Amino acid sequence: MPYAGVTLMAREVAALAKMVQASDGSNPFKNRKVELLATGIGESSLSVGAWHDNLASGDIGARIHTAIGSNPELMEGKTASEAKLLFADLMNPVKDQVASRDCGVMQINIPARLIGSEAELALRSESKDRDEAIHVAMQNLHAAAELFISPWVAGRDRQWNPWVAWISGWAPYPEAWCWSRVTPDTWVATGRFLHKAIRGVANEHWKAGDLSLEGALHEAERLASFYKITRGDLFVDASNQAQGVQWRYPPKPTQPGSVANYPKPNSGLSLINP
């Protein structure tokens, strides 16, 4: 069961991200809300109760992260949570030997001994009460902030390692369509995680009163340019302004493409300088 409880809107998580503070007093997501949302959408669809168990056989959790990070086709058409379930089945591990569980919006990992404990309940909730969901999501983002600033390799912070939605290349992928590796010679819709994140950030500014609707549209266009989205249009429907800023994706291409344009694995570094 990869999803459970309340699924938050991107703009709701963007609002929470502004309030997150790590133990060093920083807010690592202050200028990275798009990256946070794209990763969270790609990990869990922003489901507050989402969970995925990592089985112990041969340290499968680490193998899954490594495999998906270097083989982005495993995430084609899926969230990271869904891809990990598929990969676990392919590995045919010994059942019921759970090593750890990934929890909530940002799929925060806890050891098996904490499953069912207060530690898990602080990170994920299957409650349908939105106030409870918001509270738990905020705690999940705090945990993500601590991970983001934690030491990693080569003397740098962890940042987006090893969230597979990011390191597989899907979260920052700017295209709405890709030339499939799973079903060769076919165009398929991407998860459009980056597009949804940009829309969420822009609409949060509008809902918070920081920007007019026109200003939110301009901000979304600025973000789209920064993240090198060159195809598709951002717009506001004058007859239905309650939807805020929206995307109009380009039509499915009619000419053959190339797998050279497929999402590429990355180092896990943020695209934004601190």
pLDDT values of the chain reduced to their tens digit, one per residue, 274 residues: 578 899 999 999 999 999 999 999 999 999 999 999 999 999 999 999 999 888 776 555 667 777 887 889 989 999 988 888 776 665 554 555 788 899 999 999 999 999 999 999 999 999 999 999 999 999 999 999 999 999 998 888 999 999 999 999 999 999 999 999 999 999 999 999 999 999 999 999 999 999 999 999 999 999 999 999 999 999 999 999 999 999 999 999 999 999 999 999 999 999 997 6
Judgement on whether residues 149 and 197 belong to the same structural domain of the protein = no
Residue 45 lies in a domain: yes
pLDDT of residue 88: 60
CA distance 164 to 73: 12
Judgement on whether residues 54 and 122 belong to the same structural domain of the protein = yes
pLDDT of residue 91: 54
Judgement on whether residues 151 and 247 belong to the same structural domain of the protein = no
Which residues, in sequence order, are CB contacts of 43 under 8 Å at separation 6+? 50, 79, 80, 81, 105, 106, 107, 163, 164, 165
Q: Respond yes or no on whether the N-terminal peptide bond of residue 162 is cis (omega within 30° of 0).
A: yes
Instruction: List alpha helices for 127-268, DSSP H.
Output: 130-149, 164-167, 193-208, 213-226
CA distance 206 to 214: 9
Last residue of a domain, one of 103, 137, 167: 167
Residue 2 lies in a domain: no
Judgement on whether residues 151 and 25 belong to the same structural domain of the protein = yes
Judgement on whether residues 157 and 253 belong to the same structural domain of the protein = no
**Domain extent for 16:** 10-167
pLDDT of residue 153: 87
Last residue of a domain, one of 167, 188, 217: 167
pLDDT of residue 95: 52
pLDDT of residue 274: 64
Decide: 188 and 77 in contact? Cβ < 8 Å.
yes
Judgement on whether residues 153 and 40 belong to the same structural domain of the protein = yes
Judgement on whether residues 138 and 244 belong to the same structural domain of the protein = no
pLDDT of residue 163: 94
